[in-house]
Amino acid sequence: FSQLESWGHLPLLLARTRLDVSLKVAPGMKVRALKLDGSPNGDVQAVYKGGKLLFTADTAARPGGTMVYLISR
């Protein structure tokens, strides 16, 4: 059992970093960046190569920062 004790407060602090992501998934998947509230924040360039989906996760690539990505068909 977990209990949220505080939502925190603004501004949120997010370190700038980049990570090359490689996932073994079925072809035809798309990657979309999400805003901190979970709403869409644009498509992320991704390629499918050698049976893997490849993209770069970059926390500073979009205004407001990106910590979450949605991978879908």
Q: What is the pLDDT of residue 24?
A: 96
Q: Do residues 46 and 29 make contact, with C-beta atoms less than 8 angstroms apart?
A: yes
Q: How far is Cα 44 from Cα 29, in angstroms, rounded to an integer? A: 11
Per-residue pLDDT of the chain (73 residues; tens, 9 = 90+): 778 788 778 777 888 999 999 999 999 999 999 988 889 999 999 999 999 999 999 999 998 889 999 999 9
Q: What is the pLDDT of residue 55?
A: 98
Q: What is the pLDDT of residue 29?
A: 96
Give the residue among 62, 65, 44 at the shortest CA–CA distance from 53: 44
Q: What is the pLDDT of residue 6?
A: 81
